[in-house]
Amino acid sequence: MPDNKINVFIAFSPADTALKDELEEHLTILQRQGVINVWHNQKIEAGENFDQIQAQALQNAQIILLLISSDFLASDYAYENEVLKALERHKQGQARVIPVILRDCIWKTGALGQLTPLPQGAIPVTEWDNPDSAFKNIATEIQKVVARFTLQNGDWVFAPNADASNTGKPKINRWLAAVMGIVAIATGIFAGIAYQNKATEAKLEEDKKQLIYNIQGDWVNPNTDDSFIHRLQFRENYVGVYSLGNNEEIYWGEQEVQVVTARKCKINYEDGLSFDVEVVKSNLFDTLVESLVAIYRIDTPGIMGLRNSRLVREKTLQLLAMRNPNKSTSRTDTTTFVLETLKVVNLKDLNLTPRMILDVAAIPADTAHTRINTTVVNKAIERRELNRLPSDTVKLNTAPTGNSGKQINHLKDANIRALPEAKPDSAVLNRVKTKNTIRQIK
């Protein structure tokens, strides 16, 4: 590479190749002016020694751009072979290391947190309304850094202060200029942050409206073995959740949808159970949502904590049922079974919560099958039905049973709750008499 150009080394994750390409496009004008040379490891040709060439390019660079994202920071290879070596050259004054925040992540740790990042305000590129504006800001700041390098005895030397050569000026003037510069920069940063925050809030509100619009309607889990989250029913900003029992759907109640991002929302229930819903968009149409994935955590020893359930639109199930009209209507015929489930019971009527119907003991090792405890549900339904019976239909067998001498309830529910007493008015005299008779027997 020519000695009269500043060498710019770009370290990045393959997952951020598209963003790296956009940055390189914005730096093209500086390359055409003969000011810089841009290098990254995708310029290594087949058959060349990858590690050797990359190490040499890093050693020759005057400016090192670290394109920060969760993928880049998670790479052990990038950290050991690029980040650590770049920071060492920066510490020795041999190069300038500039973190470029592409995607939001935890990066302000260790030596990286002591460096001034780009773009302005450390706002990730992906969170700008117009990414081109972010890349323009990055390219402009890099151009300023390049201008502070001077060639001395064949080596590039970076001048920490822009007016370091003006030693004849009084110190007071230099300090005043520095203070005014800091104030101007701070004002610009705060103005940029305020504007960006306002734009981010507006975009989030627009994303919220679009997400709510896209997920309206009924979504059904076609897998009957995954019965805990069986149906999601979105109506405006609210959602109703259903589990799948033996012959009925079990309604949890309605909760407000909290939008987190443009592709994720959260639903919270009173018993502490909450889950995220992420949208899976179509590969052909960006505005079309193909399915939803409900993601939740069960903190129980011995099983995978995170669980997930995939749901599709009810219309999709109807199409599948039409394609296979000759299948039986048994539970194994998933499509037909979930469409013909008409009976609905309410968890509140059963005095149950979502956590109480989880069949924790039967949860498998995989994360895509979470069942409900149908025994708990069926017993609760039986208790509810018994409490609805008129008092004169509850008959007791007065015959002794073994050594206990206790009476047997013919309905075989030892835990049946006492029925409320009726008021002694003329409309229910017969029922009062029957209850009095039962009390005397007891």
Length of the chain: 442
Model pLDDT, residue 138: 93
| Residues 70 and 15 sit within 8 Å (Cβ to Cβ) | no
Same domain? For 169 and 46 the reply is no
Gap between the Cα atoms of 114 and 90, Å rounded:
12
Half-sphere exposure of 401 toward its Cβ, with a 13 Å CA cutoff?
Answer: 9
Give the model's pLDDT for residue 417. Answer: 38
> Tens of pLDDT along 149-208?
888 777 888 877 544 444 434 444 566 767 877 888 888 788 778 777 777 777 777 877
Please indicate, yes or no, if residue 74 is contained in any of the structural domains.
yes
State whether 176 and 147 are in the same domain: no
DSSP 14-76: GGGHHHHHHHHHHTHHHHHTTSEEEE-GGGPPTTS-HHHHHHHHHHH-SEEEEEE-HHHHH-H
Q: At what angle do helices 84-91 and 50-60 cross, to 10 degrees?
A: 20
The distance from CA 233 to its chain's CA centroid, rounded to whole angstroms, is: 20
- Is the torsion defined by CA of 202, 208, 214, 217 positive or negative? negative
Same domain, yes or no: 245 and 308: yes
Tell me: do 182 and 49 sit in the same domain: no
Is residue 1 included in any domain, yes or no? no
- Residue that is last in its domain, among 354, 381, 408: 381
Residues 195 and 226 in one domain: no
Burial zone of 70 (CB within 10 Å; 0-12 exposed, 13-18 middle, 19+ buried): middle
In terms of residue numbers, what domain contains 326?
217-381
Same domain (yes/no): 140, 207: no
Residue pLDDT tens, the chain, 442 long: 445 789 999 999 998 999 999 999 999 988 888 889 999 988 888 888 988 999 999 999 999 999 999 888 888 888 888 989 999 999 888 889 999 999 888 888 777 878 889 998 888 999 998 889 999 999 999 999 988 888 877 788 887 754 444 443 444 456 676 787 788 888 878 877 877 777 777 777 787 788 888 889 899 988 888 889 999 999 988 999 999 988 888 999 899 998 888 888 999 887 778 889 988 876 655 556 778 988 887 765 555 567 888 898 887 777 766 766 655 444 444 555 555 656 889 988 889 998 888 887 777 666 668 888 889 999 998 888 888 766 544 444 333 444 444 333 333 443 433 434 434 444 445 555 555 555 555 5
Distance, in Å, from the CA atom of 264 to the CA atom of 192, rounded to the nearest integer, reads 27
In a shared domain, residues 105 and 188: no
Domain assignment of residue 53, yes or no: yes
Tell me: do 369 and 232 sit in the same domain.
yes
- pLDDT at position 403, please? 44
Q: How many domains does the chain have?
A: 4
Q: Mark which of 173, 188, 213 sits at the end of a domain.
A: 213
User: Of 26, 5, 251, 7, whose CA–CA distance to 119 is shortest?
Assistant: 26
In the listed set 213, 244, 279, which residue is the last one of a domain according to the structure? 213
- Write down the pLDDT at residue 98: 93
Do 131 and 182 share a structural domain? no
Q: What local confidence, expressed as pLDDT, does residue 355 receive?
A: 86
Q: What is the pLDDT of residue 397?
A: 39
Q: CATH no. for residue 96?
A: 3.40.50.10140
Q: Are residues 255 and 323 in the same domain?
A: yes
Instruction: Tell whether 278 and 241 lie within a shared domain.
Output: yes
Tens digit of pLDDT for each residue in 8-60?
A: 999 999 989 999 999 999 999 888 888 899 999 888 888 889 889 999 999 99
pTM equals: 0.43
Residue 281 parent element (H or E): strand 274-281
- Give strand pairing partners of 65: 10, 98
- Specify whether 104 is located in the same domain as 225: no
Considering only CA atoms, give the Rg of the chain.
Answer: 34
